[in-house]
Amino acid sequence: MEDKYQNGIVVPVYDTVLLPGVRAALRLADDSQALEAALSRGDTFLAVPLRRPAGQTPLTAEDFHRLGVEMRANGTHRNEDGELFVQAELGGRVELKSFAEQGELWTAEFLPEPELADLDEKSAAELLDYCRDVVREASSHFRGSEEYLKALSQLRDMNTLIAYLAQFMPLAAEEKYELLKQDSQKERSLRFLDLLLKQKESIELRMELNEKFSEKANARYREQALREQLKAIQDELNEGKPEGKKDDDYRSRIEQAGLPDEIRRAALEEADKLDAQGQGGAEEGVIRNYLEFILKLPWKKEPAAAIDLKKARELLDREHYGLDKVKERIVQHLAVMQLKQGSKGSILLLVGPPGTGKTSLGRSIAEALGRKYVRLSLGGIRDESEIRGHRRTYVGAMAGRILQSMKQAGTTNPVMVLDEVDKLMTGGFSGDPASALLEVLDPEQNSTFTDHYLDLPYDLSDVFFLATANSLDTIPAPLLDRMEVIEISGYTADEKLHIAREHLLPDVLADHGLTPEQLAVPDETLRAIIEDYTLESGVRGLKKQLAAIARSASEKVVAHEGELPVTVAPEALEGLLGRRVSRHDRAQQDNPPGVVTGLAWTPVGGEILFIEATDMPGTGEITLTGQLGDVMKESAKISLSLLKSRLPMSAVDFKTRDLHIHVPSGATPKDGPSAGIALLTALASLFTGRKVDPRLAMTGEITLRGAVLPIGGLREKLLGAQRAGITRVLIPKENEIDLKDVPADVREKLTIIPVETAEDVLREALDLSLPRLDHVLLTSLPDARALGA
């Protein structure tokens, strides 16, 4: 078998159709002088297609395809660019087995790979005629194609026709190689015919699109020319605008709109530009949209209306239960507005948990003032242009949301609620929307607020801005500095009961087409829903649960099942609402030594938590568990150090005992300093063996010198303590001032004991007397278990 291999010089060719029996001028990928000299001799040559363009890096054996054709050179020449061409007669197909590099030339061993002659003379003639017809139809769209059609009509071989037409078709190099790979003449011809038909369809589609575009362009040009002629005739006859164009006379509309002088002059300049543009001008639509926006914005100052404070207070009380401090602050603000006869500086920020009525307070304020109400949601806005708008140089430019809301209100003094201001996406590539709000919410600057689209000063000083947020943490300090913060606390269980009975239940009945005669929800059922099926500071989840009950009742009413009204008992809630979704810790019957009840604040209200401490033989290590934050861990270490400095040496041998402090629930992250005195009491209880009253809870920060510092969230913590069955609570003395915010019924049910020092805490919790901070000889102190005896 080895004797059958033949050797030949490889001639690399790229992006050319190589087919047997074709004469062609081939542009060679290798234009070296060695190859040019070899082509002038009578050696055996193999035209082989390349896998990639040559010239970037030296060729390797992997760059050649494994199928080519024998070739006879009939002379070479170079064009003006120095590229090497060879007049070649291509012979049969060959399969290349191996390549070798000899100097600057490539050689290869090859075997003939004849093609399958399965195309008879008649079929070949029919295919030739069909291909000529396809080309003739496609070339009818091009001028100067007659010469090429004439050359095409003289071709009598299918391979020659394919090679001739392929040079005019946008075929990929791989597609051209696929034609050579086809060993069947019939399959190759049909494959090429398929490519030819696709090319013809592509040409016809482009021509059709060009024709449609030309028709539209000509029609637009003709219309514009006629309009220019009509305008010239009207100007010549001094007729001005025709009668039908009176509504489009921006000049008269601008003069009648009562715009400020600066705005009027700018609008008239834009009207002049519109006239200069003429009908169909490039910027006609942009100018028209701009003028329409200016004319629809409210510009006339509204007179300051009298404010009935008594009516406003009655309205707030009717629409919102509780929130006495918030409503009092709003009424005071309205009183100041009445005295000043304006609302400059009226920028309030309501901060509180979800579902506490912040947004609806804005609607009540608008009703009390007799003003329009608009709401602007800022949650998730990450682009400065959402606030300030886009410049008119951009396609599709529009004004920002502030001026869009003013246009919607139609008055210069609406009540505008900026909802979820804490959820602005600050920073980023599209500017900072929070920074764009600085000018809006600054009473000293918003009288000349400039939107990028309007590009003219607009007075926002009469707008009553009311912002809402769930937290102050994510609001940038410069923005927060421009607003007056009013904090809204969560509702107590009794407040939720009243809100559900007086507000939520009537709304839910109306939403579901029910009446009180068809559905009755007793107070004990409402209280069970509040305690067991909601876990929130507001009442939004409570309304959802009432809606679920109303849907179930609606089905029974429509189906005429049972007697009316449908009364929902507390024991029926599990079947209607499923299992309880909230679980509140309750005070224990007995706390062993080392266990103390603390108080915690959560976004959905106050809760009690248990501080558990135990010790074991060891080396003095301390372990803290329960997902405690850094501040809480520091409080534990402070408490331990405080006890070590006060307890006698004989009380506890700290070097031989390991301590473990745990705070359930372990899956809930906890942090903050307010558990300091609870941690101190738990360790003291463990060391002395004295139990802490399970009905006693405590909250306060402890320092290394034994001082008790104030904490936050006292109202929510005391509400949680009362709900959990606590009867006595230790609080920092400095927090006594916050007790006025606690509902009276809660204060009556709890014995609240203010404490100032660690000594006060341990005296109340353990009846234990610690020595003062003055250091004495520890050996002279009595045993710790006898302290206070």
| Catalytic center residues | 674, 717
Contact (Cβ atoms closer than 8 angstroms) between residue 50 and residue 122: no
Give the count of beta carbons closer than 10 Å to the beta carbon of residue 712.
13
Identify the three-state secondary structure at position 122: helix
Find out whether 695 and 664 touch, Cβ atoms under 8 Å.
Answer: no
Nearest alpha carbon to residue 679 among 695, 666, 694, 662:
662
Q: Is 376 helix (H, G, I), strand (E, B) or coil?
A: strand
Number of C-beta neighbours around residue 534 at 10 A: 22
- Nearest to 18, CA basis, from 150, 140, 173, 148: 173
> How far does CA 739 lie from the centroid of its chain?
41
For 502-599, where are the alpha helices, taking DSSP H only?
A: 505-511, 523-532, 540-559, 573-577
- Tell me if residue 779 falls in helix, strand or coil: helix
Q: Which two tokens stand for residue 163?
A: 């090679």
Residues 6+ positions from 2 with CB-CB distance below 8 Å: none
What three-state secondary structure class fits 274? helix
d(CA 292, CA 288): 6
Q: How far apart are CA 47 and CA 91, in angstroms?
A: 10
Q: Which of 335, 334, 581, 580 is nearest to 466 (CA)?
A: 334
Residue type, 61: A
Other CB atoms within 10 Å distance of the CB of residue 466: 27
The DSSP result for 577-611, as a single string, is H-S---------S---TTEEEEEEEETTEEEEEEE
Dist CA 475 CA 540 (whole Å): 24
Residue closest to 263 by CA, chosen among 301, 303, 299: 299
Report the C-alpha gap between 82 and 277 in whole angstroms: 55
Are 545 and 577 in contact by the 8 Å Cβ rule? The answer is yes
**Residue type for 111, please?**
L
